[in-house]
Amino acid sequence: MNLKYFFLGCLLLPASLLIGQNGIVRGKVFDKETGEPIIYGSVRLMNTNLGDNTDLDGFFAIPNVPPGDYKLLATYIGYDSSVVDVTLTGGGIVFKNIYLNQAAVELSGVDISARKEQARADVQISRISITTKQIRSLPSTGGEPDIAQYLPVLPGIISTGDQGGQLYIRGGAPVQNRILLDGMTIYNPFHSIGFFSVFETEAIRSVDVLTGGFNAEHGGRISAIVDIKTREGNRKKFTGLVSASPFQSKVLFEGPIKKLKETGGGSTSFLFTGKHSYLDQTSKLFYNYATDTSFFSFASGDTSLADLIKEIGLPFSFTDMYGKLSFIGDNGSKLNLFGFNFTDRFNFVNIADLSWNNIGGGANFTLIPQNSNLVMEGLIAGSNYLISLKEPDGRPRSSEINTFSAIMNFTAFHTNGQLNYGFEFTGFNTDFRFRNAVDVSFEQRDFNTEIAGYIKLKQQLGNIIFEPGLRMQYFASQADFQLEPRLGVKVNLSEGFRFKFAGGLYSQNLISTVNELDVVNLFVGFLAGPERSLFKPNSREPADDRLQRAVHAIAGVEIDLGKNAELNVEPYYKGFTQLISINRNKLSPTDPDFETETGRAYGIDFSFRREAKNLYLWATYSLSYVDRNDGRQQYYTVFDRRHNVNLLTTYTFGQKRNWEAGARWNLGSGFPFTQTQGFYQNVNFQDLLLTDVLTGNSNIGTILSERRNDGRLSYYHRLDVSLKRSFELSRNSRIDATLSVTNAYNRENVFYVDRITNSRVNQLPVLPALTLTYAF
């Protein structure tokens, strides 16, 4: 507890830095042609050492500026510089909108890139920022770039399969990773086919992946955060695109309702995107051979059913729609209204019919008061997620979660730093129904309230960036209050060598219906933590609380290898001090509904990036260990991949740079599995009058090894390639033709082996696709 008070003291001590008699220069930087914000641009007061870098909204703030007349210089790679005059009075605040023109001559290199400038100014440990350009560079399945396919390229992120696989981030299960869309939590953001998410790449402004050690502004999860922000619609002109491939088609339309003008007055714009898959139809024509793999092995040798499946195609379908209306004020304040409707269905004839729908919307805003040092941000949002599964056994399985959230964040700028604090209210209803193999039912209908507050200081002291934080979390249904100290530190040892550290305590109340023992489980439901007694692993000793908890400790170094290349190395440790899951094997209604275990995830991640005018290289290697302890034994999880390598390259060529070639290769060591020791006849002793114990043909049961996950599957490796050609029709329109091949050399990667039939089920075979996109 003394450590927690120490963190609080560190936060309150520098509060006096926020008070001063000098003024503030702030504003936003835009692309003059499109009205898009300039991200991580440089803004400096000439002939001084005062300046700032723009954020994701193009916003900058330069505090503690003495009164006087200045020239404000804004620069960004590939744009002409712009200078505006500024006159500041004592204690005054000046706001300036700056517009940059794209440079007539494209620069092939610069001494300091925007990314490296950000690296020197922020802690950024276990944080990877992804741009839409990077997502597009990935050779993608179906020729449609998607964040779901890009995430496994990042160090520390593992996908368990091409079909219905889950994403695990540095040892954290999917429910322990919080996915945010414009600040709002999205449940189950990945479609059943596994290759596609609910997010439209062309609508994304930025993606921040925090694989651990995140600071106090984030909470409610114990492993990782994926923060996705969409952009506003074009503020200058109406634009859009239409795209089609064998996997899906999509549209995007955007434009101004009130145009952005340099003379001021604000603007209003809209953005709408929609996509729909028709793989269930096109697979019958193009990918008939692919039905020999994936879920169709569930038929257990039923050749007639397999033939039927070949006739109906791959039974995956989804539809995603997202819309946004943006109001931008003359002083930089803004209001966004957004809504979405995501649906998914997996209809496997005579086996399973699974469908889910996620609908919601909300409003987020940024308020920049004219006479205040504070910048305020807020969110009000709500959603409903419903999933159901129908199977021949007739056992009900459904899950629904209704969520409402309200968030307020405040930022106060001071010399060489800033203070962030805020509040978050989340209420959610859960309705879960499940019946296991022995007809024991589990139901939960519950309402939960979570209230959180946080405070975080960012202060630069010479070459050191210091970020202490404290999150205060109250779980009303558990009557539990948690203090969670966080800390981030970066030391700029030289111009091109930086050391960093982060750590903290984390907790969460949300539980998933997906069990970590499952290789594939498309039914992704959610429920709240237990409100009744919970016991420590494999005992009747009461647990200290009824929350999932973890501790993170991460270190790292960043090395600049020249002006176009960089190397990042991060060893990490996550201790999962309590994990909670549904007791799906309960034999009677009196057995506990939940069971607990502990776990660890530790390892080291290497990443290398080189970015030049025509060439982009990205290489990663991860060495990791992930285990669990259920009180009976310690074992490696089914997603414990000891070695994982990713190589990605993109090369642009041609006289007009209208050709782009890409390749991605992934190598991963085999996942663990529990080995089979023998078989037996599973005789039904409940009806002895009609059961012939001696000569009857009963179902075959398996005898598993006493050691869980004591075997390993073979290594996985896959090559994806793509080739894109752009045809410029006019200054504002073009057609892109993309040829992509997934699993180019048709590697037979094992998914799992059916224990009864000993038949091997492989992941997807070679999948070629041609995609056409018309942009205007």
* Residue 46 banded pLDDT, cuts 50, 70, 90: very high
Classify strands 23-31 and 93-100 as parallel, antiparallel or unpaired.
parallel
For residue 142, the model assigns a pLDDT of: 82
Share of the chain above pLDDT 70, in %: 89
- Other C-beta atoms closer than 10 Å to the C-beta of 162 total 23
* Residue 681 banded pLDDT, cuts 50, 70, 90: confident
User: 661 to each of 616, 649, 723, 725, 770, how far by Cα in Å?
Assistant: 11, 8, 5, 9, 14
Q: Are 752 and 153 in contact (CB under 8 A)?
A: no
For residue 163, the model assigns a pLDDT of: 63
- Other C-beta atoms closer than 10 Å to the C-beta of 439 total 8
Query: Could you read off the pLDDT of 57-112 as tens digits, one per residue?
Result: 899 999 889 999 999 999 988 888 999 999 998 888 899 999 998 876 554 444 34
Counting Cβ atoms within 10 Å, is residue 541 exposed (0-12), middle (13-18) or buried (19+)?
exposed
Cα–Cα distance measured from residue 561 to residue 547, given in angstroms and rounded to the nearest whole number: 44
Residue 536 has pLDDT above 80, yes or no: yes
Task: State phi, psi for 196 to the nearest 5 degrees.
Answer: -130, 145
Residue 761 has pLDDT above 90, yes or no: no
User: Which tokens belong to 568?
Assistant: 């990042």
Give mean pLDDT, residues 415-444.
Answer: 86
Q: What angle do CA 6, 7, 13 make, to 5 degrees?
A: 85
First to last CA, the chain: 59
Query: Could you read off the pLDDT of 664-676 as tens digits, one per residue?
Result: 999 999 999 999 8
Q: What angle do CA 622, 623, 625 make, to 5 degrees?
A: 125
Q: Are 39 and 106 in contact (CB under 8 A)?
A: no
| Mean pLDDT, the chain, whole residue set | 87
Residue 115 has pLDDT above 80, yes or no: no
Q: Put the strands of the sheet holding 82-88 in their side by side order.
A: 51-53, 42-45, 68-75, 82-88
Amino acid at 604: I
For residue 627, the model assigns a pLDDT of: 97
Q: What angle do CA 470, 471, 472 make, to 5 degrees?
A: 120
Amino acid at 683: V
Q: Are 125 and 500 in contact (CB under 8 A)?
A: yes
Query: Could you read off the pLDDT of 608-649 as tens digits, one per residue?
Result: 999 888 999 999 999 999 999 999 999 999 999 999 999 999
For residue 585, the model assigns a pLDDT of: 73
Question: 24-38, 146-160, 431-445, 677-691 — which one is most confidently predicted on average?
Answer: 146-160
Give mean pLDDT, residues 347-369.
Answer: 89
Instruction: For 612-674, list the strands marked E by DSSP.
Output: 615-629, 634-636, 643-653, 659-668, 672-673
For residue 377, the model assigns a pLDDT of: 95
For residue 601, the model assigns a pLDDT of: 98
Residues 6+ apart with CB under 8 A from 754: 297, 300, 760, 761
Cα–Cα distance measured from residue 121 to residue 738, given in angstroms and rounded to the nearest whole number: 38
- Other C-beta atoms closer than 10 Å to the C-beta of 60 total 26
3-state secondary structure 525-563: CEEECCCCCCECCCCCCECCCCCEEEEEEEEEEEEECCC
Give mean pLDDT, residues 140-162.
Answer: 89
For residue 5, the model assigns a pLDDT of: 53
Give mean pLDDT, residues 341-346.
Answer: 94
Give mean pLDDT, residues 165-183.
Answer: 92
Amino acid at 299: A
Query: Could you read off the pLDDT of 285-326 as tens digits, one per residue?
Result: 888 777 655 444 444 444 455 555 566 677 889 999 999 999
Q: Are 492 and 558 in contact (CB under 8 A)?
A: no
Residue carrying the six token digits 């519950």: 446
Question: 230-244, 513-527, 575-589 — which one is most confidently predicted on average?
Answer: 230-244
User: 66 to each of 51, 83, 323, how far by Cα in Å?
Assistant: 13, 19, 44
Query: Could you read off the pLDDT of 486-510 as tens digits, one per residue?
Result: 999 999 999 899 999 999 999 999 9
Residue 683 has pLDDT above 80, yes or no: no
Classify strands 224-230 and 177-181 as parallel, antiparallel or unpaired.
parallel
Query: Could you read off the pLDDT of 558-613 as tens digits, one per residue?
Result: 999 988 899 999 999 999 999 999 887 777 777 788 899 999 999 999 999 998 88
Cα–Cα distance measured from residue 773 to residue 740, given in angstroms and rounded to the nearest whole number: 14
Residues 6+ apart with CB under 8 A from 752: 519, 673, 713, 761
Q: Are 191 and 317 in contact (CB under 8 A)?
A: no
Give mean pLDDT, residues 733-758.
Answer: 89
Give mean pLDDT, residues 653-663.
Answer: 93
Residue carrying the six token digits 């909670």: 580
Q: Are 195 and 148 in contact (CB under 8 A)?
A: yes
For residue 135, the model assigns a pLDDT of: 92
Helix (H) or strand (E) holding 9: helix 2-12
Question: What does the chain come to in residues?
Answer: 776
> Which has more pLDDT, 357 or 372?
357
* Residue 690 banded pLDDT, cuts 50, 70, 90: low
Share of the chain above pLDDT 90, in %: 59
* Closest C-alpha to 82, from 205, 262, 258: 262
For residue 606, the model assigns a pLDDT of: 98
User: Which tokens belong to 82?
Assistant: 């712009």
Give mean pLDDT, residues 397-405.
Answer: 94
> Which has more pLDDT, 294 or 421?
421
* Closest C-alpha to 663, from 654, 645, 650: 650
For residue 122, the model assigns a pLDDT of: 86
